[in-house]
Homo-oligomer: A and B are copies of this chain.
Amino acid sequence: MIRIIVDCFGGDRSPSANVEGSLAALEALPDVSLVLTGDRELIEAELAGKKYDKSRIEVVHAPEVIGCDEKPTDAIRLKKESSMMKAVALLRADEAGEYAGMVSCGSTGALVAASTLRVGRLRGVIRPAFCPVMPTMKGGVVGVCDSGANVDVTPDYLIQNAVMGSLYMKAVYGIESPRVGLLNIGTEAGKGDDLRKETYPLLAARDDINFAGNAEARELLGGDFDLIVCDGFAGNVLIKSTEGACLEMLKKLKKDINSSFINKIGALFMYRMFMKEKEFMNYQNYGGSVLLGTVKTVVKGHGSSNARAVEKCIEQVYRTETGSLNPSIEAALDTGE
């Protein structure tokens, strides 16, 4: 049994989406058991009447919830009875190696801080980094590491993002030798700010990375890279502007279709296609952002995650465990110092 903790509060649709997603994951992954943290009464109310294997679900009571505007360090210190910190505490105290990791859709800042400080870093890791994935136009996925965990960084961070991200794309998405692009403002070597200029030759010199040179932001979805490496600020801009542009385009299409009768008729013919486009860009289908480099796998779900997204997040923890991601990260980064 692979045991995974699900923080059931903090997301916009919690606890119902979290509980429903958990039950779907139990259904899909027969060798998984789950621990749900949060207000016991509310969680049990969600579970009531549902059909599931009771031996594979445990509820751990945690009456508090961390708000999105709370200062991360305060949240860690003062909200010990919150659903997120209870989950973190279980991972921290897990000397027997009972848990594979956790999923949370709550405050990103609190989750990063608690994961780094309480769950702890793998040996050799400077700072854990997020690695969300997006669908590409060639049918695969592309990872972006880091998308917001660390915003003030040095070349060392970017090297580790490249190493950890490559191992992740291999372990979880089966890409044998992920093509790594350094996010930059031009494709030629020597382009960019000081950070990129220093990082480029360091990436090129490593033989444990399949470095494919600089990647421009417009190349993200094209399918020519399997992993884009960047600082958390630029990565956040990259992911959010791409998501934003796709959503706005779909909204505009919908509005324009509804503005004319003849467009509506056309859209009837294309209904299935439009539904497919919508699903293709729907981040709920791709789970959350794995935080790479922590002792146990932590997956951050989108604040607006629905049940499907929570299920996918649980699957991500599962796949890092079955893919032996953390041992391989430690083997790559632990220099024994």
Expressed in whole angstroms, the minimum distance between the Cβ of A57 and any Cβ of chain B is 34
Interface residues of A: mostly helix, strand, loop or mixed? helix
Stretch of A96-104, A245-253, A326-334 on the interface side: A245-253
The answer to whether A247 touches B218, judged by C-beta atoms less than 8 angstroms apart, is: yes
Known interface pairs A152-B193, A233-B185. Does A249 touch B247 (Cβ–Cβ under 8 Å)? no
Interface size, A (range): 35 or more
**Beyond known contacts A183-B237, A249-B277: 7 more, CB 8 A cutoff:** A185-B233, A221-B245, A222-B248, A252-B280, A253-B277, A257-B270, A266-B273
Residues of B within 8 A of A55 (CB): none
List residues of chain B with CB within 8 A of the CB of A183: 237
Quick check: is A243 within 8 A (CB to CB) of the other chain?
Answer: yes
Question: Known interface pairs A218-B240, A218-B241, A243-B218. Does A233 touch B273 (Cβ–Cβ under 8 Å)?
Answer: no
Is there contact, CB below 8 Å, between B220 and A137? no
Task: Tell me the chain A residues, 217-267 only, with Cβ under 8 Å from chain B.
Answer: 217-222, 232-234, 236-249, 251-253, 256-257, 260, 262-263, 265-267
Say yes or no: A273-B257 contact (C-beta < 8 A), given A152-B194, A234-B237: yes
Type the 1/0 row for A83-101, where 1 means its CB is closer than 8 Å to any CB of B: 0000000000000000000
Residue of B nearest to A265 (CB): B269
A-B contact pairs, 26 of them (CB 8 A): A148-B185, A183-B237, A185-B233, A185-B236, A185-B237, A193-B233, A196-B233, A216-B240, A217-B237, A218-B240, A218-B241, A219-B244, A220-B245, A233-B234, A237-B237, A237-B238, A242-B244, A242-B245, A245-B246, A249-B277, A256-B276, A257-B273, A265-B269, A266-B266, A266-B269, A269-B269
Tell me which of A237, A246, A257 has the highest count of chain B C-beta atoms within 10 A of its own C-beta: A237
Q: Which residue of B lies closest to A255 (CB)?
A: B137
Per the 8 Å Cβ criterion, residues 152-197 of A in contact with B are: 152, 183, 185, 188, 192-194, 196
A69 at the interface (CB under 8 A from B): yes
Nearest B residue to A241 via CB reads B217
Query: What's the Cα separation between A218 and B277 when bound, in Å?
Result: 19
Which of B151, B245, B268, B270 is within 8 Å of A193, CB to CB? Answer: B151
* A194 neighbours in B (Cβ, 8 Å): 152
Please report the C-alpha to C-alpha distance between residue A220 and residue B113 in the assembled complex, in whole angstroms: 29
| Contact across chains for A185 and B137 when beta carbons are under 8 A apart | no
Contacts A265-B269, A266-B269, A267-B266 known; A192 to B151 CB distance under 8 Å? yes
Closest B residue to A250 using CB positions: B249
- Distance in angstroms between the alpha carbons of A248 and B220 in the assembled complex: 10
Question: Are B251 and A137 in contact, with the CB atoms below 8 A?
Answer: yes
Instruction: Give A220 to B246 CA distance when docked, in angstroms.
Output: 12
Give Cα distance in the complex from A240 to B220, angstroms: 10
Q: Tell me which residues across on chain B come within 8 A of A268, comparing CB atoms.
A: 266
- Measured between alpha carbons, how far is A280 from B252 in the docked complex, in Å? 10
Instruction: Name the distance in Å between A109's Cβ and chain B's nearest Cβ.
Output: 8
Sort A-B residue pairs by CB-CB distance and give the 3 closest, nearest first.
A266-B269, A218-B244, A266-B270
Query: Do the beta carbons of B241 and A256 come within 8 Å of each other?
Result: no
